[in-house]
Amino acid sequence: MKYYILFGPPGAGKGTQAGAMAERYNLCHISTGELLRSEIAAGTELGKQAKTLIDAGNLVPDEVVESMIEAKFRSTKGVDGFLLDGFPRTIAQAKVLDEMLEKHGESVTACLSIMIPDAMVHERISHRAAIEGRADDARPEIVENRIRTYHAKTEPIIRYYKDAEKYCEIDGTGSITEVHDRIFHLMDRF
């Protein structure tokens, strides 16, 4: 089984690229952000707790997303691997993921990191806010907080996967097709 991590700042295009990647390589795409948004939409207890944190641009507790991921791993059949989008987002989550996979004799295949400059992060998010209507995209101070959180808590993951020699960086600027060609070129190697 392949276990890919799709990494990058908010607005880098992870969600946009994930569908084509999942289809081409028969992967189950797991977006923790989307899973949390469906919990909110369904009005579950978990959704209610997550909503306050998400709407403020903060992360939900590690244990919440870790158990979501584990449940998905357990219930998904018939795929050649998984594409993790928005997870791990902290070093603690990255370590737990390694432990989860190790138990089954598996490991992370690669961390595919889509990189765009900070200025483009703002541009892309305000564009998406107009299309998708996500509450956490709409207010500039919330977007700022998510970018701060990314730099403080999520960016250190880059070092973690570099040390494990699993880090691959992709230039996320340009058209959707240009970016997915770069990604496919890289993934064909694994």
- Which residues contact ligand AMP by CB under 6 A? 10, 32-33, 36, 53-54, 57-60, 65, 86-87, 89, 93, 136, 146
CB of 32 to ligand AMP, least distance (A): 3
* Closest to ligand AMP by CB, 22 or 136: 136
CB of 97 to ligand AMP, least distance (A): 10
* Closest to ligand AMP by CB, 159 or 185: 159
For the chain, helix, strand, coil in percent to 5 are 60, 15, 25
CB of 182 to ligand AMP, least distance (A): 21
Q: Which residue number has the CB closest to ligand AMP?
A: 33
* Closest to ligand AMP by CB, 27 or 65: 65
The one-letter amino acid code at 7 reads: F
* Closest to ligand AMP by CB, 10 or 13: 10
CB of 16 to ligand AMP, least distance (A): 12
- Rounded CA-CA distance 116/13 in Å is 9
- Rounded CA-CA distance 64/30 in Å is 14
* Closest to ligand AMP by CB, 139 or 185: 139
Q: How many CB atoms lie within 10 A of CB 153?
A: 16
The one-letter amino acid code at 58 reads: N
Q: How many CB atoms lie within 10 A of CB 91?
A: 15
Q: Which of left, alpha, beta for 11 (phi over 0: left; psi -120 to 50: alpha)?
A: left
Q: Which two tokens stand for residue 125?
A: 């998010």
CB of 158 to ligand AMP, least distance (A): 15
